[in-house]
Amino acid sequence: MRERGFRQVQMWVPDARTDEFRREAQRQALAVAAADRAFDDQDFVEQISENWPE
């Protein structure tokens, strides 16, 4: 792979087998599910956002 211009990168990621990871994943999933009911927040963001030229 190095001959083809690639280099190895080592990454550390959370251990998905732990209870702490499962709790945090559940918390985030519930937050995403609840976001469907948070229209006011998105409306605010869209109102203060600028239109960027293409």
Instruction: Determine the Cα–Cα distance for residues 22 and 44; give it in Å rounded to an integer.
Output: 32
Instruction: Determine the Cα–Cα distance for residues 15 and 12; give it in Å rounded to an integer.
Output: 9
Distance set, CA 20 to CA 17, 28, 31 (Å)? 9, 12, 17
pTM, rounded to two decimals: 0.50
Backbone phi and psi for residue 16, each to the nearest 5 degrees, phi listed first: -70, -5
pLDDT tens digits, one per residue of 7-53: 999 999 999 999 999 999 999 999 888 877 766 777 788 888 887 77
Question: Do residues 26 and 33 make contact, with C-beta atoms less than 8 angstroms apart?
Answer: no
Q: What is the pLDDT of residue 42?
A: 74
